[in-house]
Amino acid sequence: MRRLKYMILLVFVFISGCWDRMEMNDLAFVTGTAMDLSDDGNMLLCSLQIATPSTEGGMSGGGSGSKNNFFIISAEGKNGNEIHQKLQKKSSRHLFYSHRSIVFISERLAKHGIQGVLDIFTHDPRNRLKTYIMVVKGEAGRNILQMNYPLKQVPIEAVREMENSGDDLAVTLKDFFISSESEGVHPVVGVIESDIHSKDPHKQLFKLAGAGVFKDLKLSGLLDINETLGLMWVTNKLKFGRITANLPEGNGEVGMMITHADRKIITQTGHDSVQFKIQLEGQGSLVENNSGLDINEPKNLKLITKALENAAKKLVKDVIFKIQKKYKVDSVGFGQEIYKHNPEKWAILKNQWDTRFPEADILVEVNLIIKGEGMVHSSFEKESE
């Protein structure tokens, strides 16, 4: 009798163990999200890009370039719970967010403030903090969701891979939250925009367009591609990048690919002064030489290196000037450097940092090492002469 009871119990375990499992055919895979302000500016407008199911019941894949590999649904609401309820009503399948790779925030919403947007992603366990976040420059975020990309079946995956390329800013929700809550630094995110302006979304492309600087969860301003490269170098996030320099006395231009970059920030705080010295290191190869100089000559290589160092220094000083004097936002984390090395001094400066940072003295030093320079001699025209 006891044996029969155990067998009946075992049967119930097997038939009831997966009662709440959801099959793939019951899921709608969200690949991207866009957040905008409604036309009247009083509500949030959320748009989801959802991968289209294939005829076999899974998700469409491959490289056919079909324009029907995704569809968009949108809903307005005052909070995330209301929006999700409305979006779910528009989908016959359960919305599944674990495959979402990116969240777009329109520039208009970012300037208005994204506190309400962040609450959606912090309190809902269905959202992954490894999802990337970007600002859409000059247009609605949902416009990017609607664009096709010729090299990817689902275009949002193309954005994710572009972000991971190494010379563009890639920021996840987790990165943004950490920066927002850290001492002495404000968050920065990547920026994207349409590359070809056309009314037909299938004929448009997108491109990465720099970075967005945030303060108090509001967009303070934008940085262009070159300024973003300088910011990434100063914040020690640069994997590789390109620098172009004009040689003195009109001797032409040279270009360098930086493949190894490093930085060190030295902090000096006096009674009434704050000074920082940024020491930048870089190694790479010369990839362009539109001059008549033979770089096998040590003096010419020294001249080229100096020109590239000056160009890199100007690039970094330009971005420092912009965030320090124009936006007045410590996006680099100079305050964090004080906090880490002199917490007692930071306790005094913390409440004054918004006014002290724009007046801080910041010096920049650059040291470059060019390797493989023998592969690029003087320009073809000069050598032919």
The tens digit of pLDDT for each residue in 218-270 reads: 999 999 999 999 999 999 998 888 999 999 877 789 999 999 999 999 998 87
Three-class SS state of 221 = strand
Arithmetic mean of pLDDT, 370-379: 62
Exposure string of 101-114, with b = 16+ CB inside 10 Å and e = fewer, is bbbbbbbbbbebeb
Q: Are residues 357 and 254 in the same domain?
A: yes
In a domain, 8, yes or no: no
Question: In this structure, what is the dihedral angle of CA atoms 223, 226, 232, 238, given to the nearest 10 degrees?
Answer: 150
Using the predicted structure, report yes or no on whether residue 347 has a pLDDT greater than 70: yes
Structure tokens at 88: 């779910």
> Quick check: 51 and 154 in contact, CB under 8 A?
yes
Q: Which residues pair with 74 in a beta bridge?
A: 47
Q: Are residues 275 and 128 in the same domain?
A: no
Using the predicted structure, report yes or no on whether residue 121 has a pLDDT greater than 80: no
In a domain, 186, yes or no: yes
For the chain, the domain total comes to 2
Is this model's pTM higher than 0.85 or not? no
Arithmetic mean of pLDDT, 282-298: 86
Q: Are residues 192 and 319 in the same domain?
A: no
In a domain, 371, yes or no: yes
Question: What confidence category does residue 68 fall into, taking pLDDT thresholds of 50, 70 and 90?
Answer: low
> Quick check: 274 and 348 in contact, CB under 8 A?
no
Q: Are residues 219 and 262 in the same domain?
A: no
Containing domain of residue 192, as a range?
19-223
